[in-house]
Amino acid sequence: MKQVKVAVAGASGRMGRMLAEAALGDDGVALAAAFDRPGAAFIGRDAGELIGVQSGVMIGADARAAIAAADCVIDFTRPEGTLAHLALARELGRAIVIGTTGFSSEQKAEIAAAAEHIPVVFAPNMAVGVNAVFKLLEVAARILSEGYDVEVIEAHHRFKVDAPSGTALRMGEVVARELGRDLDKCAIFGREGVTGERDAQTIGFSTIRGGDVVGDHTVLFAGLGERIEITHKSGSRMPYATGAMRAARFLQGKTCGLFDMQDVLGLR
């Protein structure tokens, strides 16, 4: 199978640099373009410079030209920027891998609408290990469906702007679905003061922000006399980036459709 030509959005950011590194190290992928917002500090410089190599691909400010040069754009930026790139991908007939989090329900609907015309992988976490945890949570929730309280605890670095993380919310969604609950109605985001006895139907979320924590997630099933914890800890952003390359390769040859990492990994 021929290499997938990818364009990396937000190429001078922390995640953008990691995506460029993953693309350069993946035999099934070719880094065709890298771009960032106009005025970004590394515009005009080699995309590999930030990781100590020469790629021959310069970071540009023209999103349209970058996306047109690729088969697939990979975007881990911010919701507004991602939606603008999604519109360009749809116009140009290119695939897109979206790792951005913090979308509203209306924005998610925009992504679904675009996927009727182009192939899209949209997932809150691209790491293979995290997606294995999603599958484990399905099994655990079925087994522990009675007599266990569910809490989701997540920690990220001080620079993360949305909370809870998209991964934590997806973990809650997976558990809620298996328990026959609507997460929008049963989620509790933090507690303070005299809250009263815990409602057994709720799923709690606790958020930690500090330092350089890449990403820690734990789902706690707390029963009387025992606790079961399913945890994933990220030591770097590279698992997200390598998962994104896998997603880009998965989309090769597809004409349209909305997929997530469970589809990419064959876990459906």
Q: Residues 108, 135, 157, 160: which is the catalytic one? A: 160
Q: Residues 5, 156, 217, 232: which is the catalytic one? A: 156
Please indicate whether residue 135 is annotated as part of the active site. no
Sign of the four-CA dihedral 155, 163, 158, 167:
positive
Amino acid (1-letter code) at residue 10: G
* Residue 257, beta-bridge partner list: 119
Can you read off the two tokens belonging to residue 121?
């992988």
**What SS3 string covers the chain?**
CCCEEEEEECCCCHHHHHHHHHHHCCCCEEEEEEECCCCCCCCCCECCHHHCCCCCCEEECCHHHHHHCCCEEEECCCHHHHHHHHHHHHHHCCEEEECCCCCCHHHHHHHHHHCCCCEEEECCCCCHHHHHHHHHHHHHHHHCCCCCEEEEEEEECCCCCCCCCHHHHHHHHHHHHHHCCCHHHHEEECCCCCCCCCCCCCEEEEEEECCCCCEEEEEEEECCCCEEEEEEEECCCHHHHHHHHHHHHHHCCCCCEEECHHHHCCCC
Please indicate whether residue 108 is annotated as part of the active site. no
What positions carry a catalytic annotation? 156, 160
